[in-house]
Amino acid sequence: MATTQRPITDATLNDTATEAAWKTIPSWALTTTRDLNIPIAAQRLMADRAGSHTREVKASHAVTVSQPQAVARLIKQADHATR
């Protein structure tokens, strides 16, 4: 993970979004109950606000490392639902 993550940039924090894709494109969310970076309540709020199809797992913020099968299942579910 350390080799693929890039430092955050000023633009990331300060640019203004012109559109919110989640308003017109279906979305899926994998919420993680053991995340120490983003509280589960905040994850649920964001997923609900976006109208996401949500799955919840007992995982940390690094869910792609700790629960890769759950991530793959959600991606496959999204793929099948949007074909």
- The HSE-up count of residue 50 (CA atoms within 13 Å, CB side) is 18
User: Can you give the pTM of this predicted structure?
Assistant: 0.78
pLDDT, residue 17, reads 85
pLDDT, residue 46, reads 95
Mean pLDDT per block of 10 residues along the chain (83 residues) reads 79 87 92 96 96 96 95 96 92
